[in-house]
Structure 1
Amino acid sequence: MDICDVNGVSLGVDEFGEPDAPLVLCLGAPTTLSWPDALCEQLAAQGRHVVRCDLRDAGASSHGDLESPDYTLRDLAADAAALARAFDERPAHLAGIGISGMIAQVAALDHPDTFSALTLIGTRPVAPGPVDDDLPDHDQATMEPLFSRPLPDWTDVDSAADFMAEGARILGNDADEAREVAARIWQRTQDTDPETHLADQLGMVFSRLDCQPRWRERLPQLKVPTLVVHGRLDPFFPVGNGEAIAREIPGARLLVLENASTAVPAADVPEVVTAMVGL
């Protein structure tokens, strides 16, 4: 891990591939480990310089008040633009997954000259909170068991990893992989207090952000090649959200992973890499 100072904050980053290769910037959700190692390694093998980063208040990045963050969604979008320019003067391929897919949409709209392509995985075109009437909301049959569980002892790595593995099982993801990733995130967490571990594992700070103004109505303004990837089985942001994004961004390609939920399964990584490189 390295630290990159941009836009008045410090962001944790790690890199794959040659620094002079075309840049693919992968925004964490909230940490770098939202992006599978295999996906980053295969992109690098295809001639890309992959930089994945922690968001503010996550991983090795700057931390503030986790209960009342003093920044907005558009600040995170500006972070992405500044980070891309710090690594390469050429326009970059920007990628977001889950909550960082929202940041990526706003970044591409607010900083059009900074980005040459856009990949959006498992996300939606509106901020946290009530969704538009035409968009499917969280599947409540999945959300009830997911959010009714007692919280773990976040200061114990095994307790935290078991909790995240069980959450992955409920969502339809690979529980063993989720347990391994959760343990790695836990080891990277800056502080030992439960609130910081909670922020790193679940990204709860994002739900407290000011995400106004809306950006969905601006999506037709996007001019960059865009790939929208969505799991057919995603109960958190059901696939209709990805379909809506793909309809509203001119020329966007929709790639539906038929056996995937919220995470990109190992078996689907090569297809996603091929599609990203093809933009």
Structure 2
Amino acid sequence: MKKEIASVTTVERPEIISEAFGDPANPPLLLIMGAMASMLWWPEQLCRKLAYSGLFVIRYDNRDTGRSTKYRPGEPPYTFDDMADDAMQVLDERGIGKAHVAGMSMGGMIAQLVALKHPSRVASLTVISSSPIGLDTSHLPKTSDAYAEHSAEGAKVDWSDRGQVVDFIVRGARAIASTAHPFDEVRTRTFVEQDYDRSGGYLSATNHFMLGGGDAWKGRLHEMMAPLLVIHGTADPIFPVQHGEALAKAVPGAKIIRIEGGGHELHPDDWTEISAAIVAHIQAN
């Protein structure tokens, strides 16, 4: 009797580009950024500030951003679960078994998945400006009308036109900025232009808004083993601070630090408070 051999589909792992700061002998901290954002959105000076505090800091380009693998726009062949595995790939490539993990915005959601899927590899977790995964958040405050209107304008942008795209991203940065500090448009525009050119454009990055996944972890945040610190701006227009509070409430033992007037950003004037909080959380765990 002829034995049938099941066909196996091999999915090639993406190339994930990463960069590190500090002494590899120090406790590792893996940084995961949010939707459409390359590693550069973790400011280099903030990374160095964390490294000077005694950490080995790693940032990386998510799929479809920066110099990592990109896919056809509108057809992402991956999920949030795959992006959580990408984080483990970064650690594997650097020979790191266990690390402290910090994620911002969508990166904070990916970081939650990392901690749930790979508990033995996460020493502690910091989630910045994000929302809890696997929970009903319909009762929480929504994204501000002003930012929702800005996002809707994205449908009119020619994503192959550098000028249009840079203008749109800069307007978005202003819309989510801190209310406690002045918005530096010149610095922001220079940075966005740098990131756009390094990434070769942002068209593929729009795939991030089409992703699914994480369903297996619905209602299971209470199972998280990693000590959790939530950092959230009180003026965040994308995920109002109640999202951070709900996340902290869902995870036993979690702590939350509110950045007064903080928006959905890592403003230079808040780096000292943010980095001190992260370092203290890591040293305690």
TM-score range, shorter-chain basis? Answer: 0.7 to 0.9
In the TM superposition, what whole-angstrom CA distance separates every residue of 1:178-215 from its partner, at most 9, and x where no partner exists?
Answer: 3232112112124xxxxx5234xxx4211211224063
TM-score by length of 1: 0.86
Task: Choose 247-256 or 104-113, whichever is displaced more.
Answer: 247-256
Residue of structure 1 equivalent to 2:244: 242
**Which protein is bigger by CA-based radius of gyration?**
2
Q: Does 1:53 align with 2:60?
A: yes
Distance 1:67 1:150 in 2: 13
In the TM superposition, what whole-angstrom CA distance separates every residue of 1:201-231 from its partner, at most 9, and x where no partner exists?
Answer: xx42112112240635211111222111111
Residue of structure 2 equivalent to 1:20: 25
Q: Could you tell me which of 265, 273, 276 is aligned with 1:274? A: 276
Query: Any stretches of 5+ residues in structure 1 without a counterpart?
Result: 1-6, 191-195
In the TM superposition, what whole-angstrom CA distance separates every residue of 1:15-60 from its partner, at most 9, and x where no partner exists?
Answer: 1112222111111323101212221010010111111011111111
Residue of structure 1 equivalent to 2:69: 62
Q: How do 1:129-278 and structure 2 match up within 5 A?
A: 132-148=137-153, 151-152=156-157, 154-155=159-160, 157-173=162-178, 174-176=183-185, 177-190=187-200, 196-199=201-204, 203-213=205-215, 215=217, 217-278=219-280
Q: Secondary structure at the match of 1:167?
A: helix
Distance 1:183 1:112 in 2: 38
Distance 2:22 2:107 in 1: 22
Residue of structure 1 equivalent to 2:98: 91
Distance 1:131 1:168 in 2: 28
Tell me by how many angstroms 1:146 deviates.
4.4
Percentage identity across paired residues of the two chains: 32
Q: Over aligned residues, Cα RMSD in angstroms?
A: 2.2
Q: Secondary structure at the match of 2:58?
A: strand
Cα 1:274/1:88, change in 2 over 3 Å: farther
Cα 1:216/1:233, change in 2 over 3 Å: farther
Residue of structure 2 equivalent to 1:4: none
Q: Secondary structure at the match of 1:58?
A: coil
Query: Any stretches of 5+ residues in structure 2 without a counterpart?
Result: 1-11
Cα 1:153/1:175, change in 2 over 3 Å: farther
8 Å Cα contact 2:32/2:107 also seen in 1: yes
Q: Secondary structure at the match of 1:9?
A: coil
Distance 1:126 1:221 in 2: 12
Q: Does 1:76 align with 2:86?
A: no
8 Å Cα contact 2:146/2:175 also seen in 1: no
| Aligned residue pair count | 263
